[in-house]
Amino acid sequence: MEFTGYLDFWFKDRPIVERVAPFIDLGVKRFDVWCWRSAPIAEISAECKRLGGIINSTFDEDMGSLADPADNEKTLRTWAESLEMAERYGVEHLFIFSNQVDIVDGKEWTRRLSRNVTEAEQYANLLNQTEKILKLVEQTKVEVWVEALNEFHIQGGVLVHDHDLAADWIRRMNHPQFRLAFDCYHQQRTAGNLMYGVEAYWGLYPTFHIGDCPTRQEPGTGEINFPNIRAKLRELGFDGFVGLEFYPSTTAAEALARTRELFPLV
């Protein structure tokens, strides 16, 4: 296993480019970045190269809604742009969501659909668009990760908001560059059933995110039973990425030390 560090969550007392070095000092060399269009992605990439790191993942904050037929032209265009960016800066993974999420008055809202479309119609459109996007992906080495976003704090309704539908999406595509990001925080907020999901979606997820609930801090600060989850992952033989997509409750070193106790990288 290997930890991936979320630059938007850690070392928030300094500019985002300057967060690479302290992560490197802690032994974390892969970095996840939110919102590549507004992030200083070129500077982050240069800093990673200087220090021996890599941009593990990012996503486009203006990719459009795959669930909205009116966005079909936009989603193809923005995905072409994201893939070009990823190849330029050596980004290995891009996240994909069913809906466009915007920040309105400091809160996350799903962008309203252009017209009334049933959920079945939304999902059919999402599948059709994904097939087209994957033809672009096939021309690169990028792997696309599906993330189901919770509806607890994202207002307005998200089509793919639990791992069951995310897993169905992946299985229908049946594509080697299209995988699941198992996110404990989002799944717990939406549906729970974490232990069930660890087994039911086995083989679909190369990355496992370990933010606790309700505060999205390191494992052991909330309600999720991470020792049992880690035992199940060990039993299954998980050897992928462990995403540190949480806010440290104290110092970064202490939060990482507590995380390593639960998720020893052996």
Residue range 98-107: average pLDDT? 92
pLDDT per residue over 194-232, tens digit each? 999 999 999 999 999 999 999 999 999 999 999 999 999
State the pLDDT confidence band at 149, using cuts at 50, 70 and 90.
very high
Other residues' Cβ atoms within 10 Å of the Cβ of residue 98 = 26
The model's pLDDT over 34-55, given as tens digits with 9 standing for 90+, comes to 999 999 999 999 999 999 999 9
pLDDT of residue 136: 98
> Does position 266 have pLDDT exceeding 60, yes or no?
no
Q: Which two tokens stand for residue 104?
A: 């309105």
pLDDT at 235: 96
Residue 265 has pLDDT above 90, yes or no: no
For residues 244 and 246, give the distance between their C-alpha atoms in angstroms, rounded to a whole number.
Answer: 6
pLDDT interval class at 79 (50, 70, 90): very high
Residue indicated by tokens 């106790």: 261
Residue carrying the six token digits 């967060």: 19
Is 83 in a helix, a strand, or coil? helix
Q: What is the pLDDT of residue 246?
A: 97
Residues of the chain with pLDDT > 90: what percent? 95
Please state, in angstroms and rounded to a whole number, the distance separating the CA atoms of residues 112 and 3.
Answer: 35
What is the per-residue pLDDT for 226? 96
Q: Residue 244 and residue 134: Cα distance in Å, rounded? A: 27
Q: Dig out the tokens for 7 from the structure.
A: 């630059």
User: What is residue 223's predicted lDDT score, i.e. its pLDDT?
Assistant: 96
- With bands split at pLDDT 50, 70 and 90, how would you rate the model's confidence at 106? confident
Helix boundaries (H) for the chain: 20-25, 41-51, 72-89, 119-137, 163-173, 184-190, 194-200, 226-236, 252-262
Contacts of 52 (CB under 8 A, 6+ apart): 24, 29
**What pLDDT is attached to residue 105?**
85
| Orientation of helix 226-236 relative to helix 252-262, angle to 10° | 50
- Does residue 173 have a pLDDT over 90? yes
| pLDDT confidence of residue 72 | 98
Any idea what DSSP says for residue 16? Answer: G
* Distance between CA atoms of residues 143 and 140, nearest Å: 9
Mean per-residue pLDDT for 149-154?
92
- The phi, psi pair for 34, rounded to 5°, reads -85, 150
Crossing angle of the two packed helices 119-137 and 72-89, in degrees rounded to 10: 30
pTM given for the model:
0.96
